[in-house]
Amino acid sequence: MSQLAAIDMVFLLLENQTRPMHMSSCLVLEPPAGEQKTFVARLLKAFRAAQPGKPFNQKLKWLEGGLARWEPAIPDPLYHVRHLAIPGPGTRAQLDDTLALLNAPPLDRAYPLWQCFVIEGLEHGRIALFFKLHHALIDGEGGVRLMRAALSDNPRNKQIRAIWEYAGEPPRKRPVPVSRTQLQRISSRLNALPSGITDIASGLLELGAQALKLKPQQASLPFQAPDTPFNTHLTSSARCYANCEIDLDRVKSMARASGTTVNDVALTFIDDSLHKYLAEVGAGVDAPLVASMPLSTRVEGQEASGNQVIADLVPLGQPGAGLVDRLRQIHESTCKVKDRARKMSAPMRQTYVMLLLGLTAVPELMPGVNAAPSTNVLISNMAGPREQLYLGGAAVRAMLGLPILPPSPCLNITFVSIMGKICLGVASTPEAMARPGRYIELLLESVEELERALPPTRSAGQRPKQKKAVRKKSVQKKAAVKKAVPKKAAPRKAAPKKAAPKKAAPQKTPATKPRKPASRAGSAKVRAASRRRSPVS
């Protein structure tokens, strides 16, 4: 058995029938050539024969005092791997409706907290793989890493590997002798534990000082976000989803043009389109929206299970700001948040995460408290693989996100950079955002407007290259002119020297003068001859 981390327990305690706390994603695959009718059967056989590994082979065991542990379990392949089909023509809208229906019920806690659905019947002969993973089991970035490990970048690789497949125990490290210096470091860290508790208290006092305006505000504080339709209460498990794909190179070019980051650019067109949507539904605000953003703290080589994230409140742009100004304002906000996170110790970060999660649940747990919302939207950013991926030779054509909804707000926007695209998914309740498809249309408009607003000479890092190219061309032109002038002048100077003997002969000049009267006389004879011929004509 293994005990759950504190943050994993929070996801279990916040879950109920109207608020499932599992993550969901969907991969759209195009079967290999010649396997349109046999690939689904081969996929189901491989998935159900795969041996689940940690954390997919463990289930919850509740203890006294409301605590829980993970205990080993043998997953039932027929329960965890389901097969269904949607009727023709199998459009994206039909798939979205099917995913919303499958994603509504919470995962059964009597089983390991995951499920997979193999969906066929999509247009163009494609199939979909829909995954449900509880947030207590793994975080978003860990899920992306497991997905990447199951996929291949080789289209000829026909092996089908499930993300829950047993990969073997991690290799054990050889024992390394500990030096006296290392022992002193370990001892000093153990002695520093009480100071870590002191750091948590000082951090909370720091937030209080900022709220009372006694110190400069480093980021958004709780209960300071404007009231929006997104800040509604969950009344059912009904969800609305919408997805889109944006070329990653376009976003990178805008980031380089503005001297910001891809995350800042994405936050800018997300924020701008949110204001447009609020204006269309007659719910505009006069203060910046506040986003709750998880930030990964996972280090290289760390195991994929569990949650390794922190979160913070990020104020976005002013309601009436232009896109360029909005990008600048958001960049300043994210820089302040990152600076504050760097100054926090590890205990303080974990405490701050649970504090924010608790504050977001205040309007739901205490309906009588008329508190202002702390955040308006949950935004997550994850980085995935860049190369084209395959599963058993089937190409991955799209990745659809179905983000999880916190207690409040009832709007989650998650974007994952994968295979040269940003796959952006929107999840909401019908009360918070009834038409997420319309919001996606407004978002794509904001992307184009921001791209036009930025100077083209500053995009894609071409500004210095263009300057060098112009300078090189001008230098080449000047050099060509300098080289061309002597070549043209040389024949002019040399010509008189070669023609000097001709000019030196004085005999030739008078000989040319009698030719003029001769030509006149000749012309007179021609006139006279023409006159004589005129009567004949």
Structural Rg of the chain based on CA atoms:
37
Bridge partners for 33 per DSSP:
none
Q: Please, are residues 257 and 455 in contact by the beta-carbon 8 Å criterion?
A: yes
- What is the pairing mode between strands 377-383 and 290-296? parallel
What interhelical angle do 436-453 and 262-280 show, nearest 10?
130
Task: Give 458's DSSP letter.
Answer: G
Q: Please, are residues 110 and 60 in contact by the beta-carbon 8 Å criterion?
A: no
Task: Give 106's DSSP letter.
Answer: P
Question: Token pair 């997919």 is at which residue?
Answer: 56
Of the candidates 80, 134, 135, 275, the residue annotated as catalytic is: 135
List CB contacts of 441: < 8 A, sequence separation 6 or more.
none
- Could you give the CA distance from residue 500 to residue 246 in angstroms, rounded to a whole number? 76
Cβ neighbours around 426 below 10 Å, total: 25
In what order do the strands lie in the sheet containing 411-418? Answer: 240-247, 421-428, 411-418, 377-383, 290-296, 309-315
Q: Please, are residues 120 and 40 in contact by the beta-carbon 8 Å criterion?
A: yes
Encoded tokens for 280 = 């269309």
Would you call the peptide bond into 55 cis, given omega within 30 degrees of 0 as the criterion?
A: yes
What values do phi and psi take at 171, rounded to 5? -65, 135
Q: List, in sequence order, every beta strand (DSSP E) within 332-479.
A: 377-383, 390-391, 394-402, 411-418, 421-428
Alpha helices in 104-139 (DSSP H): none
Task: Give 124's DSSP letter.
Answer: G
List CB contacts of 479: < 8 A, sequence separation 6 or more.
none
Tell me if residue 134 is catalytic: no
Encoded tokens for 212 = 């009372």
Encoded tokens for 221 = 């504080």
Q: Which residues are catalytic?
A: 135
